[in-house]
Amino acid sequence: MSTTTQGSVDYLARDGRAYVTLNRPEKRNAMSQTMWEQLMLAYDKAEDDDDVRVVVLRGAGDDFCAGHDLAEVGNQYGDGGTDEHGRKRRPSQRARLQYDKHYIERFQRIFTFLKPSVALVRGYCLGGGLYMAESCDLVIAADNARMGHPEQKLGLSGAAYLDAWEIMTLGARKARELLLLAEVWDAQEARANGLVNKVVPLADLEAQGEAWAERIVRLPRDGIALGKAATNMAMQALGVTSQFAYGPVFHTLATNMRWEPGEFNFMKERSVSGVRASTHQREAFYATPVRQEGE
């Protein structure tokens, strides 16, 4: 279990598998900076261990991952310092771009990893958690899975890190629906639109993951690596991996936008009301209004 409020990413290798577990269940495995760093170290370990042929990525507790810890969002770009009058300055575009580039490289690491990753998704799989699942080769979802991009309501409105992959996978219309409306889909809708490979009862999720992992580990090591390399080359030829270049640019711009009167500014509200209250305010602001009969 987690030993700090920052959570952990736990690693266990056995029988040709590397089990990578996001371990912060009290926060629905929302990713702290510490956890992101540990996730990359886990993939380094899996890469260096020749006996590992597949990574099984999962979340502790009832959820896969609720995304990036909202308490850290907006603070990750650092302090912009002060001007000559002692007034606080906003972080520079170069500081934002540097962070966003480093951030998306984490998903790129999973996406292009030369050993397959299988994500086992239960409960919430949102925002950065969904990017993690999308970066994996295979995704098995429990029937209680909820997958989507509610973080788009922070003002991004389509400035997504993996939108090329989503357009290719879902089709342009459904990808825009998922992002522009900040949709959260249940397991069956996620399966129907190609976000996951298979939906199973919650009680069967781990067993199904084991069954697929066993089929992969029986493949020859060289065949696994060459097959993934060929997939990466195909993704590059299709232009999908270009998202790792333009994704940080658009995210940097989207996080430095101007808010007009009447628009919901999550960062401003969070500073006043805190994360929990401002999250509820955000959902209420974007909730679909109930139309009266005759309207």
Is 294 a member of any domain?
no
Considering only residues 94 and 140, tell me which one the structure prediction assigns the higher pLDDT. Answer: 140
Is 272 a member of any domain?
no
CATH number for the domain spanning 27: value is 3.90.226.10
Confidence tier at 244 by pLDDT (50, 70, 90): very high
From residue 105, how far is each of 11, 32, 37, 98, 110 by CA, in Å?
Answer: 20, 16, 11, 11, 9
Phi-psi region of 290 (alpha: psi -120 to 50; beta: other; left: phi over 0): beta
C-alpha torsion angle, residues 173, 179, 182, 188 (rounded to 10): 60
Is 139 a member of any domain?
yes
What mean pLDDT is reported for the chain?
90
Q: Is the pLDDT of residue 293 over 70?
A: no
- Please give the pLDDT value at position 210: 98
pLDDT single digits (tens) 146-198: 999 998 888 787 778 999 999 999 999 999 999 999 989 999 999 999 999 99
Is 266 a member of any domain?
no
The predicted model scores a pTM of: 0.88
In the sheet that holds 117-121, the strands lie side by side as: 8-14, 17-23, 54-59, 117-121, 138-142, 198-200
Is 204 a member of any domain?
yes
Is 46 a member of any domain?
yes
For residue 205, the enclosing domain spans 8-78+89-257
Instruction: Count up the domains in the chain and report the number.
Output: 1
Is 273 a member of any domain?
no
Is 35 a member of any domain?
yes
- Please give the pLDDT value at position 272: 80
